[in-house]
Chains A and B, each alone.
Chain A
Amino acid sequence: AQKITQTQPGMFVQEKEAVTLDCTYDTSDQSYGLFWYKQPSSGEMIFLIYQGSYDEQNATEGRYSLNFQKARKSANLVISASQLGDSAMYFCAIQGGSEKLVFGKGTKLTVNP
């Protein structure tokens, strides 16, 4: 079984600053993937970034980077140069051998002007 823990129910950040959203995971699978999704108030689920368990380099996608520390079982999302449009719910998820995504409870990010 897989489990995702997001310990920050809410986070605040000033526009143009960087913010880190925490995610720790638990799995017995040797091969797994870690995902981050953004869910704005409109409801859609937007794929942001993916990290495979065997990837040695941390994933990056534009302003998003994933700080993957396998020994600590953490996969934190770093958003650089925050924008007002980044205000949303952010979900960390894990996929193991069963292919289904298991999500954390999410972190609500608010970007202040």
Chain B
Amino acid sequence: AAGVIQSPRHLIKEKRETATLKCYPIPRHDTVYWYQQGPGQDPQFLISFYEKMQSDKGSIPDRFSAQQFSDYHSELNMSSLELGDSALYFCASSLRTSAFGPYEQYFGPGTRLTVT
């Protein structure tokens, strides 16, 4: 079965640079979520999109922005990178099977970002 695809898998950037992470959800899934997992930490929710509209927002820095495109893929743009942004970034997708959740979320393999 097709899974969530994330690219790149690994990314090394310097401080103050920008980075773009891409996520391709499971086919027919309509919701995308972004999570950040620091070293030795649990994943923290950043932002989500349903049918190309932002549906929820968590602890996402103002330096970060994201969007979901017409083909449902999503991109997380990160600017003015800081050392503390080094983390594993997960994208997850789900399908809203009803008006109310919960909805099973399937995670991609993650993008490991290292800021030097």
Contact = CB atoms under 8 A, between A and B. Distances in A.
* Bind each other: yes
Interface of A: 31-33, 35, 37, 43-47, 50, 52, 91, 95-106
Contacts of B61: none
A54 B95 CA distance: 19
Interface of B: 31, 33, 35, 42-45, 48, 55-56, 58, 88, 90, 92, 94, 100-110, 112
A33 B101 contact: yes
Nearest to A46: B107
B101 A47 contact: no
Contact of B110 (A45, A96, A99): A45
B103 A95 contact: yes
Contacts of A95: 101-103, 105
A47 B1 CA distance: 14
Contacts of A98: 56
A31 B42 contact: no
Report whether over half of chain B's contact residues are helix, strand or loop; otherwise say mixed: strand
B105 A101 contact: yes
B104 A50 contact: yes
Contact of B103 (A43, A99, A104, A106): A99
B99 to A, nearest CB: 11
B56 to A, nearest CB: 5
Contacts of A45: 43, 90, 92, 107, 110
Contacts of B100: 31, 97
Contacts of A103: 42-44
A61 to B, nearest CB: 12
A22 to B, nearest CB: 15
Contacts of B44: 103
B33 A100 contact: yes
Nearest to B42: A103
A76 B39 CA distance: 25
Nearest to A51: B102
Contacts of A31: 100-102
A100 B92 CA distance: 10
A98 B106 CA distance: 17
